[in-house]
Chains A and B, each alone.
Chain A
């Protein structure tokens, strides 16, 4: 993305053909204050004109200027900007810049082709730099963002390798619409869809023969390579994301990848090795004596005392710790990253990078492999045209094994909680696997499943974009630039599930039709074309920037899935060998088109910024496919002019904007095809469509201030917002005895309120010693204000289990994240007895929304040593722990007293499984050491510039009262509401890495 070339204050540097009507030429040099090194690629602009230039490799510049006294503004990434006065007659100037430790100077996006310095930004746009992102290697970018952005709740679905997590910005913004933030990489809207991987065909979590939302699949943003990212900007709500129109409700995550830059080519090479270990266990009951086991067996499986005693006495090991035995994949994980970055003075630039990564899952046979290759190239042609092309090819091969909810007795945690501790499960010496001796869950053996059942996902992805930038004209006062960006994001994802007929579990479930195969081929393509014109008009008192353009998007999806049962040959993985097959296909095509226009006015010596913009968009997802829906925005920021000396800068800001969320379905009422003996029958679908379905509308008002104090060593930012979502997209239940179950409609309203605080402090800085601390804090509340007339409160159609455990509930006046569950019984029940369904009282024992979330990120540098740590604190917020119900029901939890107390409470109609899921996690911890230059030189015969050694850890420690494996959990993967279901998930891992990073 060529945003930087069009920056408001960075001037149209491409329009170098500035009229030489001015009186003189100013030359000079830009250096770093600390060390005095020359700074290349710094922008130097003449205030009040469009004139400007960049410094060369030697830090020198030359710019035409009027004869009178002028002010030059000098900016460079990573340094605080400076304005210097050059008197009439002065022709040479040296400017030294101070490091911008707190990133006050980052350019933040305000439009498709416009950006402003964060010092002027009217929104609380979070910016995460490459260094912050990769301080500790993260498997995926969303994980890398955890704890670093105020107002973002980022939750991993489970501990399975390869990602799968949810990013929610400023609360729940939809009930049944799409809920993911929009991801934009270098101007291309990239796909974050999930293709269900078919685990259901062996787990039976949703029963049947097809894939399901309980397949523990990965949302594909996980593919991106965090190491290529220059920075991530997060437009948290519609007041900023309005520029993305009907895709902006959930916020926008704008990812900019690294670009080449003029100068000597640098080569970076990083090698990491590490391993992951089991971070937490549920704990199973250990039987201490034959008598204890016999008593248990009599009560729970109806086994006679003699038989149970014999089983116990025959067991070689009385107390297996299955979790310890199973989640014990101690293979080495590695990550190799290399990149080349450079460019020539003739206008070429390049950034080329490669990645090879291997992570192990905790369970045997599970892994996550990723390779990527990126080439970003840029070329300036003549004085008026630049072209940038960014491409990335990614490949991931992931095997996540079996986890989560299941009904076929295969999910390891579920099996372990149903297996008394006396039965051996691990592989026998002869290579065979024992049948699970538990009558509850036998013969299924997770060790055999791990060996035999394969669940590979193989994804190839290409993300590419090209941006052309043409300076149409340029005068001293005006410039007009045209930018055209075309991009494509396409992936091909293959999922397989292979469960041979010799598998105990498959045989028990499928009998004569044992032997299961699943094959899914998904092809997903997003294509964008954006064009914009930016006109800048610079006057002494005011600078006006007008931009207008269009944005076109096309999304295509084709998923073909085939399940086979009764495949009797274990080595065969071609579904055509199956005795029975079950096909399923999904096709989709969407087209969006929109216009936008925006006016930005800079006045009062760049202290006041006023912005007004509008987007008009149509989408084929809407009932009326040709109707344009409009999304305006207005914002203002003002940097207070006169301040006490200790305060460097105070900015007041306010922003208002609207954004939408497109319907994903519901334009028409379909006919449902029902086959009967191969002949086609039809009836009207039970889901009524709405021919006027249209986007949800989110309206956000945001206000706040940013304060920089004590020589820019402290920055405090406070933001409050109110986001109102109207015309909610609902699939509201219909009284089903009418013969219909659901109808699509727009209506109702949600309001979210929240506050976000960020405090950045350079607590200490002297010489080579520094301590930089960043604290983020965010809280938000969301309520359903109203539902459309005639729609009664309902359980949203997203996945959930029964109110006996806890489910989501949408009702006017209630929190959007409220948990509905049984809270008692209308009549007294004896201990251990059950409250009947009719007598159970349904209430609202908890809310899934945390009270607040805070992040503490500290970086301490002492000479060559660097220490950093990130704590992520989520206070409150509840989850539904169905995993406990598994071991409670057979009294096989480690803590039998607590378990049976809980189980009796459950049977008596109480709230037994809704738990506080608050936590404090030590997300990241690093100790780094930079080798002394002398050692570096001698080791690499003078070729290496720097060598850094690092020991780091991720998710090393969790403090929580939650009794499950991990308070971050979502059995159904990504869904807008009701994410809090914990059903025998993949356990969390603790990861240690050793890194060697070198720059040549």
Chain B
């Protein structure tokens, strides 16, 4: 009896351990799925990952809306969240909440994913990708990486941007604006070298989203990637020249050359209005698992009445500003009020949710070139480009300006309405020209601090032990 009991007992204790207990996660793939040499499919998904992460950065309040609030073209009035006003036009953005912490981590993640892909490309399966394709892909992804650094700089300006290294564990110091601009410029040039070596007819070995193919230009072809690359480089060089503390010599000249290359060599004033929309775009999708609507399709967004008031008579770009139709017709609260909204914001409907947003299109490049010409003192060339835009929108051409101040004023008007709600361009310009100041720009609210940039977010500051020293050249 006892023996039987003991045998029973022993088997009882051991029997239940038969199941191995190993479980695999069914919810997501792990990084192991991409181990080994890159395949064609790997290049496709990783490239789209980079582009999608770039889109994640711009599909945010911090990138598409907050800079337009700082630039006094937009309001976001939401009684449930007074911080949209109190931490933009009536106070400073809080580094611990959405008003000051956005537009940050998503950009660095995009840059990291670009770096990962760029570093993996040399080891790609030779059967999956030809050498010109590899170079074109490298050049394209480097250009997108530079774009993301530029976006981070647009939002943080002189507050600092960290320049990542290949080591994902290395905590890079925050760099000064001049260093970051130089770095972006070198990255774009390096990409340009890759693209040039690849040859103008090289094609990307993966399918791009339609925002890169359907707007007058197919960026799947090397020669067009070069145009995007040079357009961005021209933009970066323009602002390298406009730095107050440390302007880069020769930057405007370089910018004119690069922007001209981006415009296919077109002479001042010679870019046809019909091609103004040509360029690279971010496209949006609403619903489903993708669900990334354009953040401008937001019923709480209004247009600052001053933006409508400043329109010149006859300017057909006035169609971008419309009366609100969704209730309440008056968007009010926190001391602000407007009945106006952006055409893409009026109601959160399907059309506005999928409205594409330009990354860089020819109209902006023409205006950037006009700006560079003006800064070089080439007023006639600048006016030619400027008027090619102006006359497109029902306005009379301006006379060639005689002073830089007059030229800048004319230029800022065109850029404001041509690029209305397309990104932080106006904030960047107002900042570059020192116009976001009391006494120059009217205060919107009693405690208007004239914010010009977002702070380093609290999660970043905390993780750095609150040491935020800038590394400068």
Report A's interface with B, CB cutoff 8 A: 204, 209, 299-302, 406-409, 414, 418, 435, 439-443, 472-473, 480, 482, 484, 504, 507-513, 529, 531, 533, 548-550, 552, 565-566, 579-583, 585-593, 595, 618-620, 625-626, 667-686, 689, 733-741, 792-795, 801-804, 807, 832-834, 836-838, 889-890, 907
Say yes or no: A837 contacts B21, CB within 8 Å. no
Q: A509-B348, A513-B350 are in contact. Are A675 and B290 (CB under 8 A)?
A: yes
Q: A671-B29, A671-B33 are in contact. Are A802 and B113 (CB under 8 A)?
A: no
Residues of B within 8 A of A734 (CB): 463
Q: Within 8 Å of chain A (Cβ to Cβ): is B199? A: no
Say yes or no: B86 contacts A302, CB within 8 Å. no
Smallest CB gap from A584: residue in B: B289
Instruction: Give the contacts of B159-176 with A (CB-CB under 8 A).
Output: 161-162, 164, 168-172, 174
Say yes or no: B46 contacts A579, CB within 8 Å. no
**Can you identify 15 A-B contacts, CB atoms within 8 angstroms?**
A302-B335, A440-B333, A442-B327, A473-B1, A671-B34, A675-B288, A677-B210, A677-B285, A733-B463, A737-B172, A738-B108, A738-B168, A739-B115, A795-B459, A889-B82
In-complex Cβ contact of B327 among A406, A504, A583, A804 (8 A): A504
A826 to chain B, nearest CB (A): 13
A549→B336 CA distance, assembly (Å): 70
Say yes or no: A480 contacts B51, CB within 8 Å. no
Residues of B within 8 A of A741 (CB): 105, 109, 459
Q: Within 8 Å of chain A (Cβ to Cβ): is B27? A: yes
A339 to chain B, nearest CB (A): 35
A672→B466 CA distance, assembly (Å): 29
Q: A301-B332, A736-B459 are in contact. Are A531 and B50 (CB under 8 A)?
A: no
Q: A443-B327, A736-B104 are in contact. Are A677 and B283 (CB under 8 A)?
A: yes
Residues of A within 8 A of B315 (CB): none
A-B pairs with the 5 shortest C-beta distances? A739-B112, A681-B48, A511-B347, A580-B287, A512-B349
Smallest CB gap from B165: residue in A: A738
**Which of B21, B30, B86, B108: most chain A CB closer than 10 A?**
B21
A506→B112 CA distance, assembly (Å): 39
Residues of A within 8 A of B13 (CB): 531, 533, 548-550, 595
Residues of B within 8 A of A739 (CB): 108-109, 111-113, 115, 164, 168
Among listed B4-12, B189-197, B227-235, interface-contacting one: B4-12
In-complex Cβ contact of A686 among B45, B105, B336 (8 A): B105
Say yes or no: A409 contacts B291, CB within 8 Å. no
Smallest CB gap from A580: residue in B: B287
Among listed B52-60, B372-380, B395-403, interface-contacting one: B52-60
In-complex Cβ contact of B209 among A565, A677, A832 (8 A): A677
Q: Within 8 Å of chain A (Cβ to Cβ): is B382? A: no
The interface bits of chain B over 48-88 (1 if a CB of A lies within 8 angstroms of the residue's CB, else 0) are 11111101100000000000000000000011111000110
Q: 12 additional contacts, CB 8 Å, given A668-B32, A681-B48, A739-B111?
A: A510-B348, A511-B347, A582-B287, A591-B21, A625-B21, A670-B28, A671-B29, A676-B209, A679-B207, A682-B46, A738-B108, A837-B92
A442→B104 CA distance, assembly (Å): 33
B281 to chain A, nearest CB (A): 12
Say yes or no: B30 contacts A443, CB within 8 Å. no
A207 to chain B, nearest CB (A): 9
A585→B27 CA distance, assembly (Å): 8
Q: Within 8 Å of chain A (Cβ to Cβ): is B299? A: yes
Residues of A within 8 A of B113 (CB): 683-684, 739
Residues of B within 8 A of A484 (CB): 12
Q: A439-B330, A480-B5, A672-B28 are in contact. Are A531 and B12 (CB under 8 A)?
A: yes
A775→B290 CA distance, assembly (Å): 57
Say yes or no: A407 contacts B112, CB within 8 Å. no
State the majority secondary structure of interface residues on A.
mixed
A581→B52 CA distance, assembly (Å): 20
Instruction: Give the contacts of B385-420 with A (CB-CB under 8 A).
Output: none
State the majority secondary structure of interface residues on B.
loop
Residues of A within 8 A of B460 (CB): 735-737
In-complex Cβ contact of B288 among A512, A582, A591, A676 (8 A): A582
A734→B347 CA distance, assembly (Å): 38
Say yes or no: B23 contacts A620, CB within 8 Å. yes
Q: A440-B79, A593-B21, A737-B162 are in contact. Are A508 and B92 (CB under 8 A)?
A: no
Residues of B within 8 A of A209 (CB): 291
Say yes or no: A508 contacts B299, CB within 8 Å. yes
Smallest CB gap from A436: residue in B: B328
Q: Within 8 Å of chain A (Cβ to Cβ): is B469? A: no
A513→B104 CA distance, assembly (Å): 30
Say yes or no: A513 contacts B337, CB within 8 Å. no
Residues of B within 8 A of A549 (CB): 12-13
In-complex Cβ contact of B8 among A301, A482, A676, A836 (8 A): A482
Smallest CB gap from B210: residue in A: A677
Q: Within 8 Å of chain A (Cβ to Cβ): is B246? A: no
Q: Within 8 Å of chain A (Cβ to Cβ): is B223? A: no
Q: Within 8 Å of chain A (Cβ to Cβ): is B116? A: yes
Say yes or no: B170 contacts A586, CB within 8 Å. no
A682→B47 CA distance, assembly (Å): 8
Smallest CB gap from A408: residue in B: B80
Instruction: Give the contacts of B422-469 with A (CB-CB under 8 A).
Output: 446-447, 449, 455, 457-460, 462-466
Residues of A within 8 A of B287 (CB): 565, 579-582
Say yes or no: A589 contacts B26, CB within 8 Å. yes
In-complex Cβ contact of B80 among A414, A579, A582, A591 (8 A): A414
Smallest CB gap from A414: residue in B: B80
Residues of A within 8 A of B143 (CB): none
Say yes or no: B162 contacts A472, CB within 8 Å. no
Q: A512-B348, A589-B26 are in contact. Are A676 and B21 (CB under 8 A)?
A: no
Residues of A within 8 A of B328 (CB): 439, 442-443, 508
Residues of B within 8 A of A418 (CB): 79-80
